[in-house]
Amino acid sequence: MQISEMAASAVEAYNAKQNMSLVLPRPWRQRPKGFPRGELLCEKQGSAVYSYDPMKVLEWLRKAG
C-alpha cells in the first residue's frame, strides 16, 4: 500500500467513524518507528489483518513526513 493510499483510507475511515483495516505481511519484523499498534483481527498464511484507529495512523503519517 502506498502512503497516499494509506492516508486516503484513514481519512475515509475517520469520516465514516470506523477503524481502518490493514493487511500486513507475517511476520512483520521491521515495523516503522512510531507506527501505531493495532488490534489483530485474523491471521492467514503469510499475512495478518489489523484494525487501526485512523487518527493514530494519520498522526503517524504526519510525523513521518
Alpha-carbon distance of 61 to 43, in angstroms, equals 25
Give residue 53's pLDDT band: very low, low, confident or very high (50, 70, 90).
very high
Helices 54-64 and 3-15 sit at what angle, rounded to 10 degrees? 150
Q: What is the pTM of this model?
A: 0.82
Residue 30 has pLDDT above 90, yes or no: no
Residue 12 has pLDDT above 80, yes or no: yes
Residues 6 or more apart from 31 whose CB is under 8 A from it?
A: none
CB-CB contact of 51 with 19 (8 Å): yes
For residue 55, give the H/E element and its range: helix 54-64
